[in-house]
Amino acid sequence: MNWNFNVSIISTIVVIFVLVLFYRNREEDEGYLGWKLVGYYILGTFNLKVGILIPIGFIIWLLLFYPKTNRIIKRYSAIFGLLMMLIGHWIY
């Protein structure tokens, strides 16, 4: 098997596991919270590479998103996306 394929499978399993943990640790019930966590994660992974790696999605999240419910897990989801983006950039 290809090494990159194995890393992709493992990282996908880790992402799903962590997002499920975030969902289970929610502070209050909220409609479509699972999809929102996936969105915050994806936003955290957006980047722009122009000589250096710029985490544009995370910057947008910091400037524009102020959730009223489940703040902590949404913040963790975006930070986890940033972390996975950095790890992915380092590995590949």
Overall average pLDDT of the 65-70 stretch: 92
Overall average pLDDT of the 56-67 stretch: 93
pLDDT at 1: 60
Query: d(Cα 86, Cα 92) in Å, to the nearest integer?
Result: 10
Band of pLDDT at residue 32, cut at 50, 70 and 90: very high
Question: Which residues have C-beta within 8 Å of that of residue 5, sequence separation ≥ 6?
Answer: none
pTM (2 d.p.): 0.89
